Amino acid sequence: MKFYDRQQELDSLEELYRQCKSGYGKIAVVTGRRRVGKTLLAKKFAEGKTSLYFFISKKTESLLCDEFILQYESCIGQAHIGRIQKFIELFELILKYGRDHPCVLIIDEFQEFYTVNPGIYSEIQNKWDEYKFQTKVHVVFIGSIYSLMVKTFQNAKEPLFGRADRILYIKPFEVQVMKTILEDRRQYSNENLLYTYMVTGGVPRYLELLWETKSFTKQRILDQVFKKDSFFIEEGKNSLVLEFGKDYGTYFSILELLSVGRTSRSEIESVLERSCGGYLERLEREYDVVEKVKPLGSKRDARNQKYRIKDNFTHFWFRFVNRYMTLIQGDRFGYLRNVIDKELSSFCGTVLEKLFIEIKGYSNEYGLIGTYWERGNKNEIDIVSVNEIHKKICVTEVKMNKDKINLHRLRAKTANLETNYPGYEFEYEGLALEDISLLLESMP
């Protein structure tokens, strides 16, 4: 697939490299969820530069060194005398080489050293501190287990804390980029964009898998997801089990409940019949899988809050794959598609709300964009957008079908909201599937 977007990330890495060439060694950390294009980004950055790429697989340290020394020899143009069995010895060789030769060292799946040799992190810290001001090596550490990468570089108790000059958190493609990609393939429609966004969430690898099979429409996308031996069926589990470890069953139960609308802590605990505060906190702060949501305009200490799954694919997977795994394992895909057809419409409505919130976020018109509800889920409003400079608020109702939008009923929900924002001018709008392209085209 053609390389799309990521110009800001490339510019950031290039800036560090320029500093490295004219000064001394730099470290960049590239992290983010699996399949989001971290490795492709790093390799794109390294094009045209002297570079080495090491992938940390589940091998012994000595076997990794046997593999990596070949790349090192190719890079410097001469053979190394003697066998290297410790990674830190090779790391030191590269730092010494970098005294006179600016280069890029990419170390992929860096967190895997925890299983290979956890002592390497302290060793790397010692060697980096020794050679940093002598070398011109730009080290790029890549990791897809978010919690371990955060622990490695942002926990004050860890040896590499404070050593990263830049930490890049790579996110899935935005809606605008997905629109461009569909247009490049002459497959853009509002519906195609919505279902692509709903299932892939803009994750490049998922987009690539769909487009390799020319799956652009709702029907074709669902055909690719819900079939025997589909990549997507195991992907949700594979992408999270390593993060969660042995407690993944409890985390999975919580995420499935969130996917079906049990979004408050009390609702989750009533179903699971156990305290879940610690799990929810780790899902939010340590694993970055869920986020806490409060009604727009709430006070910082307000307890009226919900949780939601941040990633679209994860949300979709728990709602329709994990929840119906018994049907999938029994190869009852025909029956499952009937179930999905019945339930998909309401789910799409929720996704459409999120899509419009994202699109409105591209605008410079609003400083705050969110949702609103009152205790007991009363007076729910899909989108509230606030311009604090001009004291204007746009209240939005979102429906798949524009004929179902009722602005009179929407206005009736805002009595308390208007009290919270005295002196603000309120305007009301309805947005539906047909409005996606128009709203995107109006963005700067």
**pLDDT band for position 312 (cuts 50, 70, 90):** very high
Calpha distance 65→61 (Å, rounded): 6
The fraction of the chain above a pLDDT of 70, given in percent, is 100
Comparison of pLDDT for 161 and 1, the residue scoring more: 161
Query: Max alpha carbon distance in the chain (Å)?
Result: 81
Q: What per-residue confidence (pLDDT) applies to 334?
A: 94
Token pair recorded at residue 279: 């799990």
Calpha distance 125→160 (Å, rounded): 6
DSSP state of 425: E
Query: How does pLDDT run across 124-156, given as a tens digit for each residue?
Result: 999 999 999 999 999 999 998 888 888 899 999
Q: What per-residue confidence (pLDDT) applies to 1?
A: 66
Task: Enumerate residues 6+ apart whose C-beta is below 8 A from 162.
Answer: none
Token pair recorded at residue 124: 């790397």
For residue 7, pLDDT beyond 70: yes
Q: What per-residue confidence (pLDDT) applies to 382?
A: 97
* Exposed / middle / buried, residue 330 (Cβ in 10 Å: 0-12, 13-18, 19+): exposed
Please state the domain extents for the chain: 7-169, 360-441
Let me know the angle formed at the C-alpha of 257 by 233 and 282, rounded to the nearest 5 degrees. Answer: 90
| 3-class DSSP state of 393 | strand
- Show the 3-state SS of 413-431: CCHHHHHHCCCCEEEEEEE
**pLDDT band for position 292 (cuts 50, 70, 90):** very high
| 3-class DSSP state of 206 | helix
**pLDDT band for position 426 (cuts 50, 70, 90):** very high
Tell me which amino acid residue 119 is: G
Calpha distance 416→386 (Å, rounded): 15
DSSP state of 414: T
Calpha distance 248→147 (Å, rounded): 14
Tell me which amino acid residue 278 is: G
**Which helix (H) or strand (E) segment is 61 a member of?**
helix 61-76
**Spatial CA neighbour of 45 closest among 11, 2, 95:** 11
Q: What per-residue confidence (pLDDT) applies to 242?
A: 80
Calpha distance 199→206 (Å, rounded): 8
Q: What per-residue confidence (pLDDT) applies to 172?
A: 95
Residue 143 backbone phi and psi in degrees, to 5: -150, 140
Token pair recorded at residue 37: 């294009």
For residue 273, pLDDT beyond 90: yes
Q: Regarding the domain with residue range 7-169, which homologous superfamily does it belong to in the CATH classification?
A: P-loop containing nucleotide triphosphate hydrolases (3.40.50.300)
Query: How does pLDDT run across 31-42, given as a tens digit for each residue?
Result: 998 999 999 999
| 3-class DSSP state of 138 | strand
Averaged confidence pLDDT in the chain = 94
For residue 376, pLDDT beyond 90: no
DSSP state of 319: I
Report pTM.
0.91
Q: What per-residue confidence (pLDDT) applies to 301?
A: 75
As a whole number, mean pLDDT of residues 2-19 equals 95
Place of tokens 């060194």: 65
The listed CATH number (3.40.1350, 2.20.25, 3.40.50, 3.30.300) that belongs to domain 360-441: 3.40.1350
Domains 7-169 and 360-441 share a fold: no
CB contact at 8 A, 288 and 146: yes
CA distances (Å), origin 241, targets 56, 205, 287, 322: 19, 19, 11, 13
The fraction of the chain above a pLDDT of 90, given in percent, is 86
Q: What per-residue confidence (pLDDT) applies to 11?
A: 97
**pLDDT band for position 122 (cuts 50, 70, 90):** very high
Radius of gyration of the chain (CA): 25
For residue 300, pLDDT beyond 80: no
**pLDDT band for position 298 (cuts 50, 70, 90):** confident
Query: How does pLDDT run across 197-245, given as a tens digit for each residue?
Result: 999 999 999 999 999 999 999 999 999 999 999 999 999 998 898 889 8
**pLDDT band for position 443 (cuts 50, 70, 90):** confident
Residue 74 φ/ψ region, left for φ over 0, alpha for ψ in the -120 to 50 degree band, beta for the rest:
alpha
**pLDDT band for position 344 (cuts 50, 70, 90):** very high
As a whole number, mean pLDDT of residues 255-268 equals 96
Helix H segments across 56-186?
61-76, 87-97, 113-116, 120-131, 146-154, 175-184
For residue 404, pLDDT beyond 90: yes
Tell me which amino acid residue 70 is: L
